Structure 1
Amino acid sequence: MDQDKLRMLLEHLQHGKTDIEEVMERLKDLPYEDIGFAKVDNHRELRNGFAEVIYCAGKTPTQVQGIVQVMRRDGASILGTRASKELFKSVRAIAPEAVYYEDARCIVIDPKKKKQEEPLIAVVCAGTSDIPVAEEAAVTAETFGYPVDRIYDVGVAGLHRLLGEMPRLRQADVVIVIAGMEGALVSVVGGLVDRPVIAVPTSVGYGTSFHGITALLAMLNSCASGVTVVNIDNGFGAAYSACLMLKMNERRINH
Protein backbone atom coordinates (compact mmCIF):
# COMPACT_ATOMS: atom_id res chain seq x y z
CA MET A 1 0.00 0.00 0.00
CA ASP A 2 1.50 3.35 -1.02
CA GLN A 3 1.14 6.66 0.81
CA ASP A 4 -1.64 7.95 -1.45
CA LYS A 5 -3.79 4.87 -0.89
CA LEU A 6 -3.21 4.93 2.85
CA ARG A 7 -4.10 8.62 3.01
CA MET A 8 -7.28 8.02 1.01
CA LEU A 9 -8.26 5.16 3.32
CA LEU A 10 -7.78 7.31 6.41
CA GLU A 11 -9.69 10.21 4.83
CA HIS A 12 -12.59 7.87 4.10
CA LEU A 13 -12.56 6.83 7.75
CA GLN A 14 -12.45 10.47 8.85
CA HIS A 15 -15.45 11.39 6.69
CA GLY A 16 -17.49 8.32 7.55
CA LYS A 17 -17.17 6.68 4.15
CA THR A 18 -15.78 3.54 5.76
CA ASP A 19 -15.59 2.08 9.25
CA ILE A 20 -12.84 0.96 11.62
CA GLU A 21 -13.43 -2.72 10.84
CA GLU A 22 -12.77 -2.22 7.14
CA VAL A 23 -9.67 -0.16 7.86
CA MET A 24 -8.36 -2.85 10.21
CA GLU A 25 -8.97 -5.47 7.52
CA ARG A 26 -7.05 -3.43 4.94
CA LEU A 27 -4.14 -2.84 7.30
CA LYS A 28 -3.89 -6.29 8.85
CA ASP A 29 -1.06 -7.39 6.56
CA LEU A 30 1.16 -4.40 7.39
CA PRO A 31 4.09 -4.34 7.74
CA TYR A 32 4.55 -7.74 6.02
CA GLU A 33 2.72 -10.92 5.12
CA ASP A 34 4.28 -14.29 5.85
CA ILE A 35 3.48 -16.79 3.08
CA GLY A 36 5.84 -19.47 4.31
CA PHE A 37 8.68 -19.28 1.81
CA ALA A 38 8.70 -15.47 1.81
CA LYS A 39 7.73 -12.52 3.97
CA VAL A 40 6.28 -10.01 1.51
CA ASP A 41 7.12 -6.48 2.65
CA ASN A 42 3.81 -4.68 2.16
CA HIS A 43 5.19 -1.71 4.10
CA ARG A 44 8.15 -1.09 1.78
CA GLU A 45 6.57 1.67 -0.28
CA LEU A 46 5.44 3.56 2.82
CA ARG A 47 8.99 3.42 4.24
CA ASN A 48 11.14 3.73 1.13
CA GLY A 49 8.94 5.31 -1.53
CA PHE A 50 8.87 2.30 -3.86
CA ALA A 51 7.31 -1.13 -3.53
CA GLU A 52 9.40 -4.23 -2.91
CA VAL A 53 11.05 -5.60 -6.04
CA ILE A 54 11.16 -9.34 -6.76
CA TYR A 55 14.61 -10.73 -7.51
CA CYS A 56 13.52 -13.71 -9.59
CA ALA A 57 16.82 -15.56 -10.05
CA GLY A 58 16.90 -18.65 -7.85
CA LYS A 59 13.17 -18.58 -7.13
CA THR A 60 10.79 -21.26 -8.43
CA PRO A 61 7.80 -20.30 -10.60
CA THR A 62 5.48 -21.21 -7.72
CA GLN A 63 7.36 -18.94 -5.33
CA VAL A 64 7.28 -15.99 -7.72
CA GLN A 65 3.58 -16.56 -8.41
CA GLY A 66 2.86 -16.51 -4.67
CA ILE A 67 4.70 -13.23 -4.15
CA VAL A 68 3.05 -11.65 -7.20
CA GLN A 69 -0.41 -12.65 -5.96
CA VAL A 70 0.12 -10.92 -2.61
CA MET A 71 1.55 -7.75 -4.16
CA ARG A 72 -1.09 -7.64 -6.89
CA ARG A 73 -3.88 -7.91 -4.34
CA ASP A 74 -2.43 -4.87 -2.59
CA GLY A 75 -2.35 -2.88 -5.83
CA ALA A 76 1.41 -2.39 -5.89
CA SER A 77 3.45 -1.74 -9.01
CA ILE A 78 5.36 -4.97 -9.53
CA LEU A 79 8.86 -5.30 -10.89
CA GLY A 80 10.60 -8.66 -11.19
CA THR A 81 14.28 -8.57 -12.12
CA ARG A 82 16.57 -11.26 -13.58
CA ALA A 83 13.56 -13.20 -14.84
CA SER A 84 13.66 -15.80 -17.60
CA LYS A 85 11.09 -16.18 -20.37
CA GLU A 86 9.91 -19.42 -18.79
CA LEU A 87 9.35 -17.70 -15.47
CA PHE A 88 7.45 -14.91 -17.19
CA LYS A 89 5.05 -17.48 -18.68
CA SER A 90 4.19 -18.71 -15.20
CA VAL A 91 3.58 -15.15 -13.98
CA ARG A 92 1.43 -14.30 -16.98
CA ALA A 93 -0.75 -17.33 -16.19
CA ILE A 94 -1.96 -15.53 -13.05
CA ALA A 95 -1.45 -11.94 -14.24
CA PRO A 96 -2.35 -11.60 -17.95
CA GLU A 97 -1.42 -7.91 -17.90
CA ALA A 98 2.21 -8.71 -17.10
CA VAL A 99 4.79 -7.48 -19.63
CA TYR A 100 8.21 -9.02 -20.25
CA TYR A 101 11.21 -6.94 -21.31
CA GLU A 102 13.57 -9.48 -22.82
CA ASP A 103 16.75 -7.39 -22.97
CA ALA A 104 16.29 -6.23 -19.39
CA ARG A 105 15.07 -9.64 -18.19
CA CYS A 106 12.35 -7.82 -16.26
CA ILE A 107 8.69 -8.54 -15.59
CA VAL A 108 6.47 -5.50 -15.03
CA ILE A 109 2.88 -5.38 -13.78
CA ASP A 110 0.93 -2.15 -13.35
CA PRO A 111 3.82 0.33 -13.53
CA LYS A 112 3.40 3.76 -12.01
CA LYS A 113 2.01 6.36 -14.36
CA LYS A 114 4.88 8.06 -16.15
CA LYS A 115 5.58 11.65 -15.33
CA GLN A 116 5.25 13.60 -18.57
CA GLU A 117 7.45 16.43 -17.42
CA GLU A 118 10.97 16.37 -16.07
CA PRO A 119 12.79 15.11 -13.97
CA LEU A 120 14.42 12.90 -16.54
CA ILE A 121 16.93 10.08 -16.20
CA ALA A 122 19.47 9.56 -18.98
CA VAL A 123 20.73 5.98 -19.31
CA VAL A 124 24.01 5.99 -21.23
CA CYS A 125 25.91 2.88 -22.26
CA ALA A 126 29.28 2.46 -23.92
CA GLY A 127 28.55 -0.40 -26.31
CA THR A 128 25.74 -2.55 -27.65
CA SER A 129 26.96 -5.42 -25.44
CA ASP A 130 26.10 -3.27 -22.40
CA ILE A 131 22.46 -2.84 -23.43
CA PRO A 132 21.03 -5.64 -21.21
CA VAL A 133 22.30 -3.87 -18.09
CA ALA A 134 21.23 -0.49 -19.48
CA GLU A 135 17.74 -1.83 -20.17
CA GLU A 136 17.45 -3.19 -16.64
CA ALA A 137 18.17 0.36 -15.42
CA ALA A 138 15.78 1.97 -17.90
CA VAL A 139 12.89 -0.42 -17.24
CA THR A 140 13.34 -0.03 -13.47
CA ALA A 141 13.15 3.76 -13.68
CA GLU A 142 10.13 3.66 -15.99
CA THR A 143 8.32 1.20 -13.73
CA PHE A 144 8.79 3.68 -10.88
CA GLY A 145 7.27 6.42 -13.05
CA TYR A 146 10.29 8.35 -14.31
CA PRO A 147 10.88 9.10 -18.01
CA VAL A 148 14.11 7.77 -19.47
CA ASP A 149 16.25 8.93 -22.36
CA ARG A 150 18.30 6.03 -23.75
CA ILE A 151 21.67 7.04 -25.19
CA TYR A 152 23.37 3.87 -26.37
CA ASP A 153 26.66 2.91 -28.07
CA VAL A 154 28.59 6.08 -27.26
CA GLY A 155 31.79 4.57 -25.82
CA VAL A 156 35.16 6.28 -25.75
CA ALA A 157 36.48 4.31 -28.75
CA GLY A 158 34.49 6.81 -30.82
CA LEU A 159 34.26 9.83 -28.56
CA HIS A 160 32.58 11.97 -31.23
CA ARG A 161 29.45 9.82 -30.80
CA LEU A 162 29.13 10.95 -27.18
CA LEU A 163 29.87 14.61 -27.95
CA GLY A 164 27.06 14.58 -30.48
CA GLU A 165 24.63 13.67 -27.69
CA MET A 166 25.60 16.43 -25.28
CA PRO A 167 22.33 18.41 -25.64
CA ARG A 168 20.39 15.32 -24.51
CA LEU A 169 22.79 14.66 -21.63
CA ARG A 170 22.43 18.21 -20.35
CA GLN A 171 18.64 17.90 -20.25
CA ALA A 172 18.81 15.02 -17.76
CA ASP A 173 18.56 15.45 -14.00
CA VAL A 174 20.48 12.26 -13.25
CA VAL A 175 22.78 10.35 -15.59
CA ILE A 176 23.38 6.60 -15.32
CA VAL A 177 26.53 5.54 -17.18
CA ILE A 178 27.06 1.88 -18.01
CA ALA A 179 30.32 0.51 -19.37
CA GLY A 180 32.49 -2.59 -19.41
CA MET A 181 36.06 -3.07 -20.68
CA GLU A 182 38.13 -0.38 -18.89
CA GLY A 183 35.05 1.63 -17.79
CA ALA A 184 36.43 4.95 -19.05
CA LEU A 185 33.12 6.38 -20.24
CA VAL A 186 31.97 7.41 -16.77
CA SER A 187 34.98 9.69 -16.20
CA VAL A 188 34.35 11.41 -19.53
CA VAL A 189 30.65 11.94 -18.84
CA GLY A 190 31.34 13.00 -15.25
CA GLY A 191 33.66 15.71 -16.54
CA LEU A 192 31.07 17.08 -18.96
CA VAL A 193 27.83 17.39 -16.95
CA ASP A 194 26.71 19.16 -13.78
CA ARG A 195 24.38 16.34 -12.78
CA PRO A 196 24.76 13.38 -10.41
CA VAL A 197 26.38 10.50 -12.31
CA ILE A 198 25.78 6.91 -11.27
CA ALA A 199 28.26 4.45 -12.75
CA VAL A 200 27.53 0.80 -13.48
CA PRO A 201 30.47 -1.44 -14.42
CA THR A 202 29.52 -4.39 -16.58
CA SER A 203 31.09 -7.81 -16.97
CA VAL A 204 31.63 -7.16 -20.69
CA GLY A 205 35.24 -7.42 -21.89
CA TYR A 206 38.22 -9.63 -22.66
CA GLY A 207 40.36 -11.55 -20.17
CA THR A 208 41.92 -8.80 -18.10
CA SER A 209 38.57 -7.09 -17.64
CA PHE A 210 38.12 -9.86 -15.03
CA HIS A 211 34.34 -10.03 -15.55
CA GLY A 212 33.87 -6.37 -14.63
CA ILE A 213 36.45 -5.97 -11.86
CA THR A 214 38.64 -3.73 -14.03
CA ALA A 215 35.73 -1.42 -14.88
CA LEU A 216 34.61 -1.39 -11.24
CA LEU A 217 38.04 -0.32 -9.97
CA ALA A 218 38.41 2.28 -12.72
CA MET A 219 35.03 3.80 -11.84
CA LEU A 220 35.83 3.83 -8.12
CA ASN A 221 39.04 5.68 -8.98
CA SER A 222 37.41 8.12 -11.39
CA CYS A 223 38.94 11.60 -11.29
CA ALA A 224 35.54 13.11 -12.17
CA SER A 225 33.76 14.55 -9.15
CA GLY A 226 30.22 13.53 -8.27
CA VAL A 227 30.42 9.93 -9.51
CA THR A 228 28.71 7.23 -7.49
CA VAL A 229 29.42 3.57 -8.31
CA VAL A 230 27.16 0.53 -7.88
CA ASN A 231 28.01 -3.14 -8.21
CA ILE A 232 28.89 -4.98 -11.42
CA ASP A 233 25.92 -5.39 -13.79
CA ASN A 234 23.59 -3.77 -11.24
CA GLY A 235 21.45 -1.65 -13.53
CA PHE A 236 18.53 -2.05 -11.12
CA GLY A 237 20.48 -0.60 -8.20
CA ALA A 238 21.61 2.39 -10.22
CA ALA A 239 18.07 3.21 -11.33
CA TYR A 240 16.69 2.74 -7.83
CA SER A 241 19.24 5.24 -6.47
CA ALA A 242 18.47 7.70 -9.27
CA CYS A 243 14.74 7.51 -8.54
CA LEU A 244 15.31 8.09 -4.82
CA MET A 245 17.36 11.21 -5.62
CA LEU A 246 14.57 12.59 -7.78
CA LYS A 247 11.84 11.65 -5.30
CA MET A 248 13.69 13.41 -2.48
CA ASN A 249 13.99 16.54 -4.59
CA GLU A 250 10.29 16.43 -5.46
CA ARG A 251 9.42 16.11 -1.78
CA ARG A 252 11.40 19.24 -0.95
CA ILE A 253 9.79 21.20 -3.78
CA ASN A 254 6.29 20.12 -2.77
CA HIS A 255 6.87 21.13 0.84
Structure 2
Amino acid sequence: MDEDSLIKLLENVKEGRVGVEEAVSDLKKLPFEDLGFAKVDQHRNIRNGYPEVIFCQGKTINQIKVIVQKLMTCNNNILATRAGKEVYEGILEVTGDAVYYETARIVAVKRRNIIVTDKTIAVVTAGTSDIPVAEEAAVTAEILGNKVDRIYDVGVAGIHRLLANTGHLMRANVLIAVAGMEGALASVVGGLVDKPVIAVPTSVGYGANFGGLSALLTMLNSCASGIGVVNIDNGFGAGYLASMINKL
Protein backbone atom coordinates (compact mmCIF):
# COMPACT_ATOMS: atom_id res chain seq x y z
CA MET A 1 0.00 0.00 0.00
CA ASP A 2 1.53 3.29 -1.11
CA GLU A 3 1.07 6.68 0.57
CA ASP A 4 -1.87 7.68 -1.69
CA SER A 5 -3.70 4.43 -0.96
CA LEU A 6 -3.15 4.89 2.77
CA ILE A 7 -4.53 8.44 2.63
CA LYS A 8 -7.55 7.18 0.69
CA LEU A 9 -8.16 4.46 3.26
CA LEU A 10 -8.03 6.99 6.11
CA GLU A 11 -10.43 9.29 4.25
CA ASN A 12 -12.84 6.39 3.76
CA VAL A 13 -12.71 5.68 7.50
CA LYS A 14 -13.32 9.34 8.31
CA GLU A 15 -16.30 9.49 5.91
CA GLY A 16 -17.76 6.27 7.28
CA ARG A 17 -17.42 4.31 4.05
CA VAL A 18 -15.01 1.87 5.70
CA GLY A 19 -15.32 0.68 9.28
CA VAL A 20 -12.42 0.96 11.72
CA GLU A 21 -12.16 -2.80 12.17
CA GLU A 22 -12.07 -3.32 8.40
CA ALA A 23 -9.35 -0.68 8.05
CA VAL A 24 -7.22 -2.26 10.77
CA SER A 25 -7.68 -5.63 9.05
CA ASP A 26 -6.40 -4.11 5.79
CA LEU A 27 -3.41 -2.55 7.56
CA LYS A 28 -2.47 -5.91 9.08
CA LYS A 29 -2.04 -7.33 5.60
CA LEU A 30 0.28 -4.59 4.38
CA PRO A 31 3.56 -5.79 2.86
CA PHE A 32 7.05 -5.52 4.20
CA GLU A 33 9.60 -2.79 3.51
CA ASP A 34 12.29 -4.20 1.20
CA LEU A 35 15.79 -2.92 2.06
CA GLY A 36 17.57 -5.23 -0.36
CA PHE A 37 19.47 -7.16 2.33
CA ALA A 38 16.40 -7.41 4.60
CA LYS A 39 12.63 -7.21 4.37
CA VAL A 40 11.40 -5.29 7.41
CA ASP A 41 7.93 -6.21 8.63
CA GLN A 42 6.65 -2.78 9.66
CA HIS A 43 3.18 -4.01 10.57
CA ARG A 44 4.00 -6.81 12.98
CA ASN A 45 3.13 -4.48 15.84
CA ILE A 46 -0.43 -4.21 14.50
CA ARG A 47 -0.75 -7.98 14.10
CA ASN A 48 1.17 -9.26 17.10
CA GLY A 49 1.29 -6.35 19.54
CA TYR A 50 5.06 -5.82 19.37
CA PRO A 51 7.42 -4.80 16.53
CA GLU A 52 9.70 -7.13 14.65
CA VAL A 53 12.72 -8.04 16.79
CA ILE A 54 16.21 -7.79 15.30
CA PHE A 55 18.30 -10.97 15.59
CA CYS A 56 21.80 -9.47 15.35
CA GLN A 57 23.89 -12.61 14.97
CA GLY A 58 25.24 -12.78 11.41
CA LYS A 59 24.28 -9.20 10.53
CA THR A 60 26.76 -6.38 10.01
CA ILE A 61 26.67 -3.28 12.20
CA ASN A 62 25.58 -1.15 9.24
CA GLN A 63 22.74 -3.54 8.42
CA ILE A 64 21.53 -3.40 12.01
CA LYS A 65 21.71 0.40 12.07
CA VAL A 66 19.62 0.68 8.91
CA ILE A 67 17.02 -1.75 10.25
CA VAL A 68 16.79 0.20 13.53
CA GLN A 69 16.33 3.45 11.62
CA LYS A 70 13.53 1.94 9.56
CA LEU A 71 11.78 0.38 12.56
CA MET A 72 11.91 3.70 14.42
CA THR A 73 9.76 5.36 11.74
CA CYS A 74 6.76 3.23 12.71
CA ASN A 75 7.47 1.88 16.21
CA ASN A 76 8.39 3.19 19.63
CA ASN A 77 10.26 0.39 21.40
CA ILE A 78 12.69 -1.86 19.53
CA LEU A 79 14.49 -4.98 20.67
CA ALA A 80 17.79 -6.33 19.28
CA THR A 81 18.93 -9.75 20.53
CA ARG A 82 22.29 -11.58 20.48
CA ALA A 83 23.94 -8.19 20.37
CA GLY A 84 27.54 -7.51 21.36
CA LYS A 85 28.78 -4.20 22.70
CA GLU A 86 29.82 -3.13 19.20
CA VAL A 87 26.18 -3.47 18.11
CA TYR A 88 25.10 -1.28 21.02
CA GLU A 89 27.67 1.37 20.08
CA GLY A 90 26.46 1.28 16.48
CA ILE A 91 22.81 1.69 17.51
CA LEU A 92 23.82 4.64 19.71
CA GLU A 93 24.89 6.40 16.51
CA VAL A 94 21.27 6.09 15.35
CA THR A 95 19.48 6.91 18.61
CA GLY A 96 20.44 7.92 22.13
CA ASP A 97 17.48 5.98 23.54
CA ALA A 98 19.34 2.67 23.37
CA VAL A 99 20.05 0.65 26.53
CA TYR A 100 22.46 -2.30 26.64
CA TYR A 101 21.89 -5.37 28.81
CA GLU A 102 25.30 -7.00 28.62
CA THR A 103 24.58 -10.34 30.28
CA ALA A 104 21.43 -10.83 28.21
CA ARG A 105 23.17 -9.56 25.05
CA ILE A 106 20.16 -7.36 24.31
CA VAL A 107 19.90 -3.79 23.09
CA ALA A 108 16.57 -2.08 23.72
CA VAL A 109 15.47 1.20 22.18
CA LYS A 110 12.98 2.62 24.67
CA ARG A 111 10.91 5.59 23.57
CA ARG A 112 7.65 4.79 25.36
CA ASN A 113 6.78 3.19 28.68
CA ILE A 114 4.88 -0.07 28.29
CA ILE A 115 2.11 -0.72 30.79
CA VAL A 116 3.34 -3.38 33.21
CA THR A 117 0.93 -6.12 34.28
CA ASP A 118 0.42 -6.94 37.96
CA LYS A 119 1.09 -10.61 37.31
CA THR A 120 4.64 -11.95 37.66
CA ILE A 121 6.86 -14.14 35.52
CA ALA A 122 9.40 -16.17 37.51
CA VAL A 123 12.69 -17.01 35.78
CA VAL A 124 14.44 -19.92 37.48
CA THR A 125 17.90 -21.29 36.70
CA ALA A 126 19.61 -24.50 37.70
CA GLY A 127 23.05 -22.90 37.91
CA THR A 128 24.93 -19.65 37.60
CA SER A 129 26.21 -20.74 34.17
CA ASP A 130 22.61 -20.65 32.90
CA ILE A 131 22.16 -16.97 33.79
CA PRO A 132 23.02 -15.47 30.36
CA VAL A 133 20.15 -17.40 28.73
CA ALA A 134 17.91 -16.67 31.71
CA GLU A 135 18.68 -12.97 31.49
CA GLU A 136 17.77 -12.98 27.80
CA ALA A 137 14.38 -14.35 28.84
CA ALA A 138 13.99 -12.02 31.83
CA VAL A 139 14.98 -8.82 30.02
CA THR A 140 12.76 -9.71 27.05
CA ALA A 141 9.80 -10.21 29.38
CA GLU A 142 10.50 -6.95 31.22
CA ILE A 143 10.80 -4.92 28.02
CA LEU A 144 7.47 -6.38 26.90
CA GLY A 145 5.89 -4.97 30.06
CA ASN A 146 6.02 -7.74 32.67
CA LYS A 147 7.19 -7.97 36.25
CA VAL A 148 9.96 -10.56 36.57
CA ASP A 149 11.11 -12.45 39.65
CA ARG A 150 14.61 -13.91 39.25
CA ILE A 151 15.40 -17.12 41.16
CA TYR A 152 18.91 -18.19 40.17
CA ASP A 153 21.21 -21.10 41.05
CA VAL A 154 18.59 -23.42 42.55
CA GLY A 155 19.30 -26.63 40.64
CA VAL A 156 18.31 -30.13 41.71
CA ALA A 157 21.84 -30.98 42.91
CA GLY A 158 20.95 -28.88 45.97
CA ILE A 159 17.18 -29.07 45.84
CA HIS A 160 16.77 -27.43 49.25
CA ARG A 161 17.72 -24.16 47.49
CA LEU A 162 14.72 -24.50 45.19
CA LEU A 163 12.34 -25.55 47.97
CA ALA A 164 13.38 -22.50 49.99
CA ASN A 165 11.88 -20.39 47.18
CA THR A 166 8.56 -22.24 46.93
CA GLY A 167 6.63 -19.09 47.88
CA HIS A 168 8.09 -17.16 44.94
CA LEU A 169 7.34 -20.04 42.60
CA MET A 170 3.72 -20.27 43.75
CA ARG A 171 3.11 -16.53 43.33
CA ALA A 172 4.20 -16.48 39.69
CA ASN A 173 1.62 -16.55 36.91
CA VAL A 174 4.08 -18.09 34.42
CA LEU A 175 7.46 -19.72 35.09
CA ILE A 176 10.54 -20.11 32.92
CA ALA A 177 12.90 -22.92 33.95
CA VAL A 178 16.39 -22.62 32.48
CA ALA A 179 18.80 -25.53 32.85
CA GLY A 180 21.69 -27.29 31.14
CA MET A 181 23.44 -30.53 32.09
CA GLU A 182 20.59 -33.09 32.42
CA GLY A 183 17.85 -30.42 32.51
CA ALA A 184 15.87 -31.90 35.40
CA LEU A 185 14.90 -28.52 36.89
CA ALA A 186 11.86 -28.05 34.64
CA SER A 187 10.26 -31.32 35.79
CA VAL A 188 10.74 -30.46 39.45
CA VAL A 189 9.35 -26.93 39.03
CA GLY A 190 6.44 -28.32 36.99
CA GLY A 191 5.62 -30.72 39.82
CA LEU A 192 5.47 -27.91 42.39
CA VAL A 193 3.28 -25.27 40.72
CA ASP A 194 -0.18 -24.98 39.16
CA LYS A 195 0.90 -22.52 36.44
CA PRO A 196 2.42 -23.06 32.97
CA VAL A 197 6.16 -23.70 32.87
CA ILE A 198 8.30 -22.84 29.86
CA ALA A 199 11.43 -24.98 29.84
CA VAL A 200 14.64 -23.66 28.26
CA PRO A 201 17.47 -26.16 27.73
CA THR A 202 20.91 -24.58 27.66
CA SER A 203 24.11 -25.74 26.02
CA VAL A 204 25.85 -25.69 29.43
CA GLY A 205 27.34 -29.07 30.30
CA TYR A 206 30.07 -31.62 29.67
CA GLY A 207 30.59 -33.64 26.49
CA ALA A 208 27.66 -36.02 26.85
CA ASN A 209 25.41 -32.98 27.16
CA PHE A 210 25.79 -32.72 23.37
CA GLY A 211 25.52 -28.93 23.34
CA GLY A 212 22.19 -28.92 25.18
CA LEU A 213 20.58 -31.89 23.43
CA SER A 214 20.46 -34.00 26.61
CA ALA A 215 18.68 -31.20 28.51
CA LEU A 216 16.28 -30.70 25.58
CA LEU A 217 15.34 -34.39 25.50
CA THR A 218 14.89 -34.51 29.28
CA MET A 219 12.53 -31.53 29.15
CA LEU A 220 10.58 -32.97 26.20
CA ASN A 221 10.19 -36.24 28.11
CA SER A 222 9.13 -34.61 31.38
CA CYS A 223 6.51 -36.51 33.35
CA ALA A 224 5.25 -33.27 34.94
CA SER A 225 2.18 -31.76 33.28
CA GLY A 226 1.92 -28.19 32.00
CA ILE A 227 5.46 -27.87 30.61
CA GLY A 228 6.24 -26.48 27.16
CA VAL A 229 9.77 -26.49 25.73
CA VAL A 230 11.58 -23.97 23.52
CA ASN A 231 14.78 -24.52 21.60
CA ILE A 232 18.27 -24.77 23.10
CA ASP A 233 19.48 -21.43 24.52
CA ASN A 234 16.33 -19.67 23.27
CA GLY A 235 15.84 -17.28 26.17
CA PHE A 236 14.21 -14.71 23.90
CA GLY A 237 11.57 -17.17 22.72
CA ALA A 238 10.77 -18.16 26.29
CA GLY A 239 10.48 -14.56 27.48
CA TYR A 240 8.24 -13.62 24.55
CA LEU A 241 5.96 -16.64 25.02
CA ALA A 242 5.77 -16.05 28.77
CA SER A 243 4.72 -12.46 28.13
CA MET A 244 1.94 -13.57 25.77
CA ILE A 245 0.63 -16.03 28.38
CA ASN A 246 0.95 -13.49 31.20
CA LYS A 247 -1.16 -10.94 29.33
CA LEU A 248 -4.00 -13.24 28.29
**Is the TM value for this pair above 0.5?**
yes
TM-score (norm 1): 0.84
Q: Distance in 1 between matches of 2:116 and 2:41?
A: 29
Following TM superposition, by how much is the alpha carbon of 1:48 offset from its aligned partner in structure 2, in angstroms? Answer: 1.5
| Structure 1: stretches of 5+ with no match in the other structure | 1-9, 16-22, 250-255
Q: Distance in 1 between matches of 2:233 and 2:111?
A: 23
CA–CA separation in structure 2 for the residues paired with 1:96 and 1:30: 30
Tell me the equivalent position of 2:44: 44
Cross-structure match for 2:19:
none
Rounded to whole Å, the distance in 2 between the matches of 1:163 and 1:115 is 32
State the one-letter code of the partner of 2:121.
I
Q: Residue 115 and residue 164 in structure 1: after superposition, are their counterparts in 2 closer, same or farther (change >3 A)? A: farther
TM-score w.r.t. length of structure 2: 0.86
Residue aligning to 2:71: 71
In the alignment of these two chains, the number of paired residues is 229
Contact kept, 8 Å, 1:111 with 1:144, in 2: the verdict is no
Counterpart-to-counterpart distance in 2, 1:112 and 1:222: 40
Matches of residues 147-162 of structure 1 in structure 2 within 5 Å? 147-162=147-162
1:1-255 paired onto structure 2 within 5 Å: 14=14, 30-110=30-110, 113-247=113-247, 249=248
Q: Paired residue for 2:3?
A: none
Q: 1:244 to 1:214 in 2, by over 3 A?
A: same
| Cα distance per residue 1:114-145 (max 9 Å; x no partner) | 54542211111110000000000011111111
Q: Percent identity?
A: 60
CA distance in 1, matches of 2:86, 2:213: 31
Cα contact 1:115–1:147 (8 A) shared by 2? no
Instruction: Name the CA distance, whole Å, in 1 between partners of 2:246 and 2:112.
Output: 15
Deviations 1:150-195 (A, max 9, x none): 1111101111111111111111110000000000100000000000
Aligned counterparts of 2:122 and 2:135: Cα–Cα separation in 1 = 12
Q: Where has structure 1 moved over 6 Å in runs of 4 or more?
A: none
Please provide the CA RMSD for this pair: 2.2
User: 1 CA distance for matches of 2:194 and 2:44?
Assistant: 32
Paired letter, 1:106: I
Letter of the 2:35 partner, please give it: I
